[in-house]
Amino acid sequence: MRKRLLPALLAGLINQFLVAACLGAQASDISGTWVFSITMETGARDSQETFALKLQGEKVTGLYLGPFGEKEVTGSLTGNTVVIVVEVFRDNRNVKATYTGTIESPVKMAGAIEYVGDPGARGKWTAIKRDPNAKGKGGEIFT
C-alpha cells in the first residue's frame, strides 16, 4: 500500500505546484486596457486615467490617456510588482510620473504615484482592467 500511496502523493504535489505556477503567470499578465483612479495627497482634484498596456517578458510598454494628453509609457513587472513611468508636462515643466504598485488579481492593481522632481506631488491609485470589448468615450477600442 505504501508503494502506491507515495507516487500518488508526489503526483498530487506536482499537480498543485503546476496549477499554482499557471495561476501566478495568469495573474501577472497585465496586457490590456486599465482605468486608473488617482487620489492625490495634496487634495488636488481626483482623476481617472486610461492605460493601454502590453507586457513582453518583464517589460511594460503602452499608452497613457488622461489629463496630460496621450503619452507613451514604459515600465516593468517583477513578480506581482508593477512600475509604470510616463513623462508629462506639469506645472510648466516636464516630469516623470511613476506609478508603483501590486497586482491584486487579474483585473485589479493598486499602488502609489509620485511625480519625480516634485516631492509634494504624490498619491494613491487603484486600477481596474477594462473588458476588452468595451468602447471608450469616443468609440475607440483599446487593445
Which region among 46-50, 89-93, 104-108, 134-138 has the lowest average model confidence (pLDDT)? 134-138
Amino acid present at 22: C
Query: Is pLDDT above 70 for 120?
Result: yes
Q: Give burial (CB, 10 Å; 0-12/13-18/19+) of 30.
A: buried
**pTM for this model (two decimals):** 0.73
Across 57-133, the runs of DSSP E, i.e. the strands, are 59-66, 69-78, 81-90, 93-105, 108-116, 122-129
Q: How far, in Å, CA of 61 to CA of 121, rounded?
A: 24
| DSSP reduced 3-state for 33 | strand
**pLDDT tens per residue, range 27-79:** 479 999 999 999 988 777 788 999 999 999 999 999 999 988 999 999 999 99
Is residue 30 within 8 Å of 103, Cβ to Cβ? yes
